C-alpha cells in the first residue's frame, strides 16, 4: 500500500474528511455545545451534519419498513437507498480494499440499516457484568487502534439496528431473570451493569436516531440494572435524556498528544474532561476509561500530566463518584498492515515488536500485546501515577 493524498477523492468539504486526518489536530472541532441554539438538538446542527453527511443508506427491507427505519430514512431524505439482503458483507462497502479516502467517505456518508437477529447478553466481568446486544455496529469515528472493524473491515460505517424494541424487551427479561445483585463486584456495588456500546460509539449513534435515548430511558425503569457505554464523542443531546443515575457514561481518555495522533475524528480530550460535570449534573454516573495506554517515549510524563489535569479541573462532585478502567493497548497484525497504508505514523507507536508479543487467536488473526513483564510494570506504573496525581480515582480494573 502507498500513502494516499490528503485530499478527499471527491473534493468534498466534509469537516471530518481526510483533511482533518492529515492536519496537526486531526480531532473533531470542539464546538458541539455551542453551535446550536437553545432548544434545538445538536444532531440538527451544522457540526453534526458535517460529521455525518449521509448520502447512501443500505437497508434490509424489514429494517427500512420498521418504525425506527422509517424515522431514519425520513431524517436523510436525500440519501440514495439500496436494498440489501443482509447488513453483513455488503459488496463494495465492507472490507479493507481501497484507500483511506474511500473509508472515511464511507464512514461519513453511508449508513446501514439492519435487523439485529442475535439477542444475547454475554457475561463479561470487566467493563460490565454483561455485554448487551447493542443497538449498532460500526462507527463513524476512526481511531487507529479500533478493534470494531475486525469483522467487517476498516470501511465499517454505522449499522443501526432498527428493532430497538426487541432489544429492549430482551434486556428487560434478562434483567428480571438476574434478580437482585447478590454482592458487590468491581462493576458495581448493587446494579447489574450492561454495556451496550461494545461495537461502536453510542454518542455518535445518537446523531442518527433515538436508539441510545431509548436504551437510556429503558434503564431508568430498571432498579436492579445499570447501562454503561464508553465514548470519545461529546454529544450534548445526551444531556436531555434524564438517565436518573441508571446509565454510566465512560469517557475514554489518553494524553491529548496521543489522542491527536490516534483518536481520529473524535472530540478532543479536554472537551471530554470538561463534559464530565455536565453529564453528572444531567443524571449520569461518569467514569473514565484510561485506554488504550500506549507505551512510547515519554508516556509516563504524559499520563502524569493528564492525571494532574484531571485533579486540577474536575469538580469534587465528579471526583467523588468517579472510577476508572485502565487498559493497555492490544493491536492486531491485520490492522497494522491496513494502517501502514494510510496512517503510518500511528504505527510508529502502536506497532512495537521490541516490547510486544503475538498470540494467534482461534480465527487465525495475529493479535499483539505488550510482553507480560512490560505490561505488568506499566500497569503498576499507572497505578502509582494515579495514586500520586489523582488519588480519588478508584481503579475498577487494570490489565
Ligand atoms: S470511537 Fe470506539 S468504536 Fe469508534 S473508532 Fe474509536 S475506538 Fe472504534
The residue contributing the CA closest to ligand 1 atom 8 is 146
Query: Given ligand 1 and candidates 100, 106, 137, 141, which is best to mutate, with the most ligand atoms within 8 Å of its CB?
Result: 141
The residue contributing the CA closest to ligand 1 atom 7 is 146
Closest by CA position to 228, among listed 245, 206, 211, 241: 245
Q: Find out whether the beta carbon of 143 lies less than 6 Å from any atom of ligand 1.
A: yes
- Architecture per CATH, domain 18-398, reads as Alpha-Beta Horseshoe (3.80)
pLDDT of residue 209: 98
Q: Find out whether the beta carbon of 217 lies less than 6 Å from any atom of ligand 1.
A: no
Q: Which residue do the cell numbers 474536575 mark?
A: 314
Peptide bond into 72 cis (omega under 30): no
Q: Find out whether the beta carbon of 141 lies less than 6 Å from any atom of ligand 1.
A: yes
Measured CA to CA in angstroms, residue 194 lies from 8, 19, 204, 289, 329 at distances of 39, 37, 19, 16, 23
Digits of tens for pLDDT over the chain (399 positions)?
222 222 233 323 233 444 444 343 456 644 444 566 666 899 999 989 988 999 999 999 999 999 999 999 999 999 999 999 999 888 878 776 666 667 778 889 999 999 999 999 999 999 999 999 999 999 999 899 998 877 777 778 999 999 999 999 999 999 999 999 999 999 999 999 999 999 999 999 999 999 999 999 999 999 999 999 999 999 999 999 999 999 999 999 999 999 999 998 899 999 999 999 999 999 999 999 999 999 999 999 999 999 999 999 999 999 999 999 999 999 998 889 888 888 899 999 999 999 999 988 777 778 999 999 999 999 999 999 999 999 999 999 999
Going from N- to C-terminal start, the domains of the chain cover 18-398
Closest by CA position to 347, among listed 328, 327, 329: 329
Which of ligand 1's atoms lies nearest the C-alpha of 140? 4
Q: Find out whether the beta carbon of 15 lies less than 6 Å from any atom of ligand 1.
A: no
Amino acid at each position: 500500500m502507498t500513502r494516499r493524498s490528503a485530499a478527499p477523492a471527491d473534493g468534498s468539504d466534509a469537516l471530518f474528511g481526510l483533511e482533518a486526518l492529515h492536519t496537526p489536530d486531526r480531532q473533531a472541532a470542539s464546538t458541539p455545545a455551542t453551535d446550536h441554539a437553545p432548544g434545538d438538538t445538536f444532531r440538527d446542527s451544522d457540526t453534526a451534519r458535517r460529521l455525518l453527511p449521509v448520502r447512501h443508506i443500505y437497508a434490509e427491507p424489514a429494517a427500512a419498513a420498521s418504525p425506527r427505519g422509517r424515522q431514519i430514512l425520513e431524517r436523510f431524505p436525500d440519501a440514495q437507498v439500496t436494498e440489501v439482503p443482509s447488513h453483513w458483507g455488503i459488496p463494495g462497502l465492507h472490507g479493507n480494499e481501497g484507500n483511506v479516502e474511500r473509508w472515511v467517505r464511507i464512514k461519513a456518508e453511508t449508513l446501514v440499516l439492519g435487523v439485529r437477529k442475535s439477542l444475547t447478553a454475554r457475561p463479561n466481568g470487566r467493563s460490565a457484568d454483561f455485554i448487551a446486544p447493542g443497538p449498532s455496529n460500526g462507527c463513524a469515528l476512526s481511531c487507529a487502534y479500533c478493534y470494531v472493524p475486525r469483522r467487517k473491515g476498516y470501511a465499517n460505517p454505522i449499522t443501526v439496528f432498527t428493532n430497538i424494541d426487541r432489544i429492549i424487551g430482551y434486556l428487560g427479561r434478562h434483567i428480571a431473570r438476574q434478580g437482585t445483585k447478590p454482592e458487590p463486584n468491581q462493576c458495581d456495588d448493587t446494579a447489574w451493569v450492561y454495556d451496550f456500546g461494545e461495537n461502536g460509539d453510542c454518542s455518535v449513534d445518537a446523531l442518527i436516531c433515538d436508539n441510545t435515548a431509548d436504551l437510556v430511558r429503558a434503564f431508568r425503569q430498571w432498579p436492579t440494572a445499570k447501562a454503561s457505554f464508553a465514548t470519545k464523542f461529546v454529544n450534548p443531546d445526551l444531556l436531555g435524556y434524564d438517565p436518573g443515575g441508571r446509565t454510566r457514561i465512560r469517557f475514554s481518555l489518553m494524553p491529548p498528544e496521543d489522542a491527536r495522533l490516534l483518536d481520529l475524528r473524535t472530540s478532543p480530550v479536554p472537551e471530554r474532561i470538561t463534559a464530565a460535570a455536565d453529564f453528572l449534573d444531567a443524571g449520569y454516573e461518569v467514569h473514565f476509561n484510561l485506554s488504550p495506554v500506549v507505551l512510547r517515549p515519554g508516556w509516563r510524563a504524559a499520563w502524569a500530566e493528564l492525571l494532574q489535569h484531571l485533579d486540577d479541573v474536575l469538580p469534587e462532585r465528579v471526583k467523588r463518584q468517579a472510577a476508572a478502567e485502565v487498559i493497555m493497548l492490544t493491536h492486531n497484525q491485520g490492522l497494522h498492515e491496513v494502517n501502514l497504508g494510510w496512517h503510518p505514523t500511528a504505527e510508529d507507536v502502536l506497532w512495537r515488536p521490541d516490547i510486544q508479543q503475538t498470540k494467534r487467536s482461534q480465527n487465525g488473526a495475529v493479535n499483539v500485546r505488550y510482553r507480560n513483564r512490560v505490561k505488568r510494570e506499566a500497569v503498576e506504573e499507572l497505578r502509582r501515577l494515579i495514586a500520586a496525581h489523582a488519588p480519588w480515582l478508584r481503579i475498577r480494573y487494570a490489565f
